[in-house]
Amino acid sequence: MSHVKRFIAVFIIFLLGLVLGGVAIQQNLLARLLPEKAVVVDQRMAFVDEVYELIKKEHWELLFDEQLAMLFQKAIEKVVNEKVELESTDLTGVKTALQSVLHKQESDEKKDAVVAEVVNIVLVNLQPFGRSRLLSQADSQAILNSVTSRNPDANYFETLGVEASASSGVIAQRFKQKKQEVAKSQKTSEEKKQAQKELERAYQALDSDAERLRYAQTGVESSLFTQNLTTDIYYLRLNSFAPTTYEDIAFALKATPPQAKQTSLIIDLRGNPGGYIDGLPNVLGAFYGPGTKAYQLLKQGQKTDLETRTDKLAGLAQFKKVVILIDQVSGSSAEAMAASLKKYNVGVLVGVPTRGWGTMERLFSVSHQFQSGQTFSVLLVQHLTLREDGIPIEGSGVTPDVNITEPGWQQELLKYFNSPSLVAAVGKMVQR
């Protein structure tokens, strides 16, 4: 009897193996036999699935399924211009509703367009509005060019009309001539302003031998400009933040070294829209040295301290009186830097409240793609930056110590630094 039972048990296991094996075989056969359109539909849903989970995990604001599902619902309704109901306020409900809508579309191109537009509308409507979005390959490359101080559409040698082998003297002469040509041209005032700005950018990229060689070889320009302003004042203007900004500062201090009697420093962050915020701990390390809690980030209710990673630059040690200029255009990384310098009393902030653009966006690749010949990425606000008092910079900005719109601001600045020459230099700059 035991042999019979054993036989039956073995036979059942054998049949079970056939059944399970048959499922796997059927799945493989289905994968090969299913029409290509069905596979594309699966990729569309996989794309939506991935972006949905990415938002929940990486967006700075903690979003529950109900909140995110409602955003998708409204986006679908906007795209197809009809009322849409969700069976459940979660990812499953979103995908079911979207599949129903896609089923009504006439072509794969229409379906692809609906998916891309729905996802982009959801991203754009995340807070702060308009900072997150769906990016094409061209969009992603433009952002990468921006943060790496690379402008592939410009050739600064051509802008100034010089050869790559031209000397610094020749470049300075051509820069002056070009500026005069623009001033005398029939361009509108706005066109002249833009042309002058482009000439200045080209000159800054090419004015020194080392910077000119780097630009010729890599197309990367310096993110800053330095000048011995007077016998006692050194000037450092940060145009943007790039991966090379710390190295740019170190190089500039060697290429244009501060004079021995210069004890005043003006750091100009006006017009600086921000840029590569991941490199900000390195830039602040130039002033603090390594291991300093430079500034804080906020994500889903949790605060994170960002510590400096680089050595303090010896060329900055001689400056005892530091003024940091800010304006309404100073944004993002420039605001975080200003707030940090204010927190550690490195210098006095002079100007007007900053832009209030305190977000840290990150570019995320998406593994599931659905549109032939196109690769989408997601630009997502991952953190908010906090100013020196712990308040988010977003919407608030950074407040100057000395507001130049107030009467008698020069006398206020004199209270910080009893240096009429420094106050006079700052006064000339803010009048430009």
pLDDT of residue 84: 96
pLDDT of residue 365: 95
CB atoms within 10 A of CB 55: 22
| pTM assigned to the model | 0.79
> What's the one-letter identity of residue 248?
D
The answer, yes or no, to whether residue 408 has pLDDT greater than 70, is yes
For 269-283, letters b (16+ CB in 10 Å) and e give: bbbbbbbbbebbbbb
For 150-187, letters b (16+ CB in 10 Å) and e give: bbeeeebbebbebeeebeeeebeebbeebbeebeeeee
The answer, yes or no, to whether residue 147 has pLDDT greater than 80, is no
pLDDT of residue 152: 62
145-149+222-430 sits in which CATH class? Answer: alpha beta
Q: Which residue has the tokens 């979103």?
A: 94
| DSSP states of 127-167 | SSTTS-EEE-HHHHHHHHHHHTTB-TT--HHHHHT--TT--
The answer, yes or no, to whether residue 35 has pLDDT greater than 50, is no
> What's the one-letter identity of residue 213?
L
Q: Which residue has the tokens 């680089």?
A: 310
Contact yes or no for 246/258 (Cβ under 8 A): no
Q: Which residue has the tokens 């070889």?
A: 217
| DSSP states of 273-302 | --B-GGGHHHHHHHHH-TT-EEEEEEETTE
pLDDT of residue 258: 95
Q: In this predicted structure, which of 15-24, 180-189, 192-201, 265-274 has the lowest mean pLDDT?
A: 15-24
pLDDT of residue 193: 84
Which residues touch 27 (CB under 8 Å, ≥6 apart)?
Answer: none
Q: Which residue has the tokens 């969700």?
A: 86
The answer, yes or no, to whether residue 31 has pLDDT greater than 50, is no
Q: How confident is the model at residue 421 (pLDDT cuts 50, 70, 90)?
A: very high
pLDDT of residue 287: 97
The answer, yes or no, to whether residue 65 has pLDDT greater than 90, is yes
User: Between residues 308 and 31, which one has the greater pLDDT?
Assistant: 308
Using alpha carbons only, what angle is made at residue 15 by residues 9 and 20, rounded to the nearest 5 degrees?
A: 125
Assign residue 365 a region (left: φ > 0; alpha: ψ between -120 and 50; beta: otherwise).
beta
Task: Measure the CA–CA gap between 426 and 432, rounded to whole angstroms.
Answer: 10
From residue 323, alpha-carbon distances to 90, 327, 356, 410 in Å are 52, 13, 20, 12
pLDDT of residue 251: 87
For 72-116, the three-class secondary structure string (H helix, E strand, C coil) is: HHHHHHHHHCCCCCCCCCCHHHHHHHHHHHHHCCCCHHHHHHHHH
Domain topology for 150-221: Helix Hairpins (1.10.287)
pLDDT of residue 212: 84
> Quick one: average pLDDT of 46-67?
97
Domain boundaries, the chain: 36-126, 145-149+222-430, 150-221
Q: What is the mean pLDDT of the chain?
A: 88
pLDDT of residue 2: 46
> Quick one: average pLDDT of 391-420?
96
Task: Measure the CA–CA gap between 381 and 7, rounded to whole angstroms.
Answer: 63
* Main-chain phi, psi angles of 221, to 5 degrees: -105, 160
> What's the one-letter identity of residue 3?
H
Q: Give the pLDDT confidence of 39-55 residue by residue, as tens digits.
A: 445 899 999 999 999 99
Task: Measure the CA–CA gap between 285 and 245, rounded to whole angstroms.
Answer: 11
Task: Measure the CA–CA gap between 408 and 344, rounded to whole angstroms.
Answer: 26
pLDDT of residue 296: 96
> Quick one: average pLDDT of 193-212?
82
The answer, yes or no, to whether residue 425 has pLDDT greater than 70, is yes
How many residues in total does the chain contain?
432
Q: Give the pLDDT confidence of 117-143 residue by residue, as tens digits.
A: 999 999 999 999 999 999 999 888 887
> Quick one: average pLDDT of 317-324?
96
pLDDT of residue 21: 35
Pairing of strands 321-326, 264-268: parallel
User: Between residues 60 and 276, which one has the greater pLDDT?
Assistant: 60
Q: Give the pLDDT confidence of 252-275 residue by residue, as tens digits.
A: 898 889 999 999 999 999 999 998
pLDDT of residue 150: 56
The answer, yes or no, to whether residue 226 has pLDDT greater than 80, is yes
